[in-house]
Each structure stands twice: as C-alpha cells, then as structure tokens.
Amino acid sequence: MLSGFPTGSLLRGFYSYFCGSSCYSIYCIMGCCMSKRGTTRASRVARWRSTGIVGLRDSNLKCLPSEVLELERAVRMLDITHNKLGQRFVHLYTLEVYPTCTIVDIPLEIGSLVNIQRLILSENHLERLPITLGKLQSLKVLAIDDNRLTTLPDELGLLVRLERLSVSENSLRSLPETIGSLRNVILLRICHCRFAGLLTSSPLH
C-alpha cells in the first residue's frame, strides 16, 4: 500500500508518463486499496477527493484517467495494480519511491522492468522483496536502506550488472550466499543491521 503520494507537478508528470510523454522516471506507482466498480464518474471523483484514495485496481486501464490529474493535491494514495499499463514500463530507467510513501511490499510485477538501472526504495516500510527482483538484469544501483527487511532473496545474486548495493539500517541477520556472485559491485553498504555474528570477510568473493 502506498500513502503520501507526491502531488502537484509530480502528479502531472506521472500522468504524462502513462499517457505518452517521454518521461523516464516514475514515483510511487504500486499499491492496493479499492475498486471503482458500481460507481458513477462523479461519485467516484467525489470519493477520491474526500478520502485522498484513488482506487483503480483491476480497471483494464491502458492510460491514467484525466480526472486523477484534476485532483492534484487531494491525492494521497493511488492504486493502479492489475491494469494494462505494463507496456509503458519498457524504457523505464529509474524508479524512486519517496520515503513518504511508506510502502510495505513490492508486487511481483516489478520483474517486468527489464531495462531499469536505478531502483531506489530507501526509507520506507518494506518487509520483504519479491523474488522477481532477480529479473532486473540491467540494474546497476539498488538502494533499500532504512526499511524493515529481515531477509534478502537468493535471487539478488542474479543481478549480474549491479554496481552499488545499499541495505543498511534493516533488521537483516544474514546475507544470502548468492551475493558472492555479484562480481561488478564496487560499493556495498551493510551497516546498522542485526547480523547474528561478525562478518569476518567480505560477502563479495
């Protein structure tokens, strides 16, 4: 679930990205909340404005509705999961989720971002990472500092182009052995975690 969705110009940029502009960065796009079934446009927009929650889950969308843009600063949470917006992600280069979003989960669909190179998820409430993270073969920078992670998926070792990995300030007690496969990593940050024992050598073999 995403909250604290950025407003104003960022919302406009978000809209233009999904509706055909050349924007290559997108902020706070994943979550889950409500469905719009059985409501009129006017009542739906009124509810969105009063609650700040825009629910468009399972709506067969190919483009973000213009009425979402009209709400601007009223939007605090946006759900567009399970739609047909995936083709817009093909050229996505950077995904940064603002700390104010306080997300706790990332959907499996993140694995479709095959060209992404920078994924910044720091200062949220993430409790787990999806195994599909391993499909991001172009990823060079992964920052997941200051979350609530207790483990990292073995699939992290599939990110063969990763150069910078930052997992500090989580509740990690160990690192997956597969991290030793990350031959291109030049920066690894793992401070302020809860490792069961001292790391006597670098996890990067």
Tens digit of pLDDT for each residue in 104-116?
A: 888 787 888 889 9
Return the percentage of the chain with pLDDT > 70, whole number: 66
- Specify the amino acid at residue 162: L
Higher pLDDT, 86 or 26: 86
Burial of 80 (0-12, 13-18, 19+ CB in 10 A): buried
**Overall pTM > 0.75:** no
Q: Cα(166)–Cα(192) distance, rounded to whole angstroms?
A: 11
Rounded Cα–Cα distance for residues 135 and 171 (Å): 24
Reply yes or no on whether the pLDDT at 175 is more than 80: yes
Q: DSSP strand E in 47-156: where? A: 53-55, 77-79, 94-96, 118-120, 141-143
To 10 degrees, the CA torsion angle through 172, 108, 114, 15? -110
Which residues of the chain are in CATH 3.80.10.10 domains? Answer: 104-205
Residue 119 has pLDDT above 60, yes or no: yes
Average pLDDT over residues 60-81: 72
Q: What is the CB-side half-sphere exposure of residue 168 using CA atoms within 13 A?
A: 8
Residue 117, pLDDT score: 95
CATH superfamily of 104-205: Ribonuclease Inhibitor (3.80.10.10)
Q: What is the mean pLDDT of residues 160-184?
A: 93
Q: Distance from CA of residue 3 to its chain's centroid? A: 13
Q: Is the pLDDT of residue 8 over 90?
A: no
Separation CA 193–CA 150 (nearest Å): 9
- What average pLDDT does the chain have? 75
Written as one letter, the residue type at 52 is G
pLDDT for position 90? 62
pLDDT tens-place string over residues 75-93: 777 777 676 665 556 677 8
